[in-house]
Amino acid sequence: MAEQPPPSSVHKLSIAFGRAVIVDNRPGASGNIGAEAVVRSAPDGHTLLYAASPIATSIAFYGKLAFDPQRDLAPVSMTALIPLVLVTHPSLPVRSVKELLALAKAKPGALSYGSGGTGSSGHLATELLKLKTGIDANHVPYRSAAPAQTALLGGEVQFAFLVIPLVRGHLKSGKMRALGISTRTRSSVLPDVPTLQEAGIADYEALQWHGFFAPVKTSLPIVERLHGEIVKALAAPEMKGRFATEGAEIVGSAPKEFATFFQAEVTKWTDVLRRSGAKLD
């Protein structure tokens, strides 16, 4: 496992398969250590990878990986899509995406943005924003999204793309200001915040997502069985409640659908990284 799935989903999968489901969290190298362990495991459905969106940029950043996510992993099901919120420090004299872009263009390179590290969702979302609008801003990578949030609160950086649970309380207290949502539709948790597309940035979408993968040689019947049980677990009321409070959208996509989405993500973000010139620190 590269990421850790919600405990309630693990419990439900344990019941469905009649055996304990053990979470073996193997952090490091943006989740690639855990991913490689799954790639090398037997394709019998007993070992799965629970990964987040950075798995789509593994090859772009780590050209010498011992595996290729597209070649060596079989998508089983995406569990959730998570919107990112473009937030600013309240001292910044902007109240909309349009005003932020105007300020950035008036003062090229004067603004800094924080992220949870090079290749993180927040980093990629901002690089996409820069490519689509022509603004210039300095990237300040942190070890994770939490210290990036702290940096924004302290005024070390002026803006960032962060997930809703990290910013909701600070938006209410006025310690942060929300300008836009990274998804194509507004968030039910922050319904008054427009999408980046509504703010005038055509075809803008940057998602944080999570999903299950199996070793590529896992048979189709096993993959379909795993998908079916994952969908059942996601349908449980407690799961819906948990994801809703985080502003996440439950997906439960079929294997082919997830595979198509994953291919599109790899293509999209590899191009963004190439054009932006971003390098792994």
What residues does each domain of the chain span? 7-81+207-276, 84-181
**Which backbone phi and psi does 174 adopt, to 5 degrees?**
85, 10
The tens place of each residue's pLDDT in the chain, 281 residues long, gives 455 566 555 656 666 566 666 667 765 566 788 899 999 999 999 999 999 998 999 888 877 788 999 999 999 999 999 999 999 999 999 999 999 999 999 999 999 999 999 889 999 999 999 999 999 999 999 999 999 999 999 999 999 999 999 999 999 999 999 999 999 999 999 999 999 999 999 999 999 999 999 999 999 999 999 999 999 989 888 888 888 878 899 999 999 999 999 999 999 999 999 998 877 65
Top CATH class of 84-181 equals: alpha beta
Please give the structure tokens belonging to residue 40.
């090398």
Cβ atoms of 39 and 215 closer than 8 Å: yes
Residues of 57-76 as b/e, b for ≥16 C-beta within 10 angstroms?
bbbbbeeebebebbebbbbb
Do the domains 84-181 and 7-81+207-276 match in fold?
Answer: yes
Q: How far apart are CA 2 and CA 18, in angstroms?
A: 24
Among all chains, which residue has been given the structure tokens 């992993």?
73
Count of CB atoms situated within 10 Å of the CB of 189: 17
**CATH 3.40.50.970 at 7-81+207-276, yes or no:** no
The candidate with the shortest Cα–Cα distance to 38, out of 18, 19, 58, is 58
Q: What is the pTM of this model?
A: 0.88
